[in-house]
Amino acid sequence: DTAVSQTPKYLVTQMGNDKSIKCEQNLGHDTMYWYKQDSKKFLKIMFSYNNKELIINETVPNRFSPKSPDKAHLNLHINSLELGDSAVYFCASSQDSSGAYEQYFGPGTRLTVT
C-alpha cells in the first residue's frame, strides 16, 4: 500500500486556470505538508497542517490555498495559475509536528503551466 499518495501525477494547464492537487496518507499521521520543487530542484516548504489546523504558512501567494478535510487528506488549490507556478509539488506527512519523527514524501505532482 502506498503511504503518501498524490493525484494527479501530471497536470498540464493554461495560464489563468484554477486547479487542485490532492494528497492522502494512510500512515495515521497527524501532520501533513506541501513542498514546491522548482526547475533547479530546490525544495521549499509551503504549508503544514497538524490535525487539520494550519501551523506553517510560508510566504506563498494567496492564490495558493490548502485545505485539510481530515487529518489523512491535504489538498492544494491554486487559482489563476501563472507560468512561474510550474514545478513539482510534493506532499509529505509525519507522525506529529514535534520534530521527533521523519517526514514521508509522496511521489509528487508535476504541474506545467503553458
Partner 1 sequence: GENVEQHPSTLSVQEGDSAVIKCTYSDSASNYFPWYKQELGKGPQLIIDIRSNVGEKKDQRIAVTLNKTAKHFSLHITETQPEDSAVYFCAASKTGGGNKLTFGTGTQLKVEL
Interface residues with partner 1 (CB under 8 A)? 4, 31, 40-45, 48, 50, 55-56, 90, 92, 94, 96-99, 101-108
Determine the length of the chain.
114
Output phi, psi for 63, to 5 deg. Answer: -70, -20
Determine the Cα–Cα distance for residues 78 and 60; give it in Å rounded to an integer. 11
- Smaller CB separation from partner 1, 75 or 97: 97
**Three cell numbers written together for 111:** 504541474
- Smaller CB separation from partner 1, 76 or 92: 92
- Smaller CB separation from partner 1, 14 or 102: 102
Is the Cβ–Cβ distance between 23 and 107 less than 8 Å? no
Minimal distance in Å, beta carbon 67 to partner 1?
Answer: 18
Minimal distance in Å, beta carbon 32 to partner 1?
Answer: 11
The SS3 call for residue 70 is strand
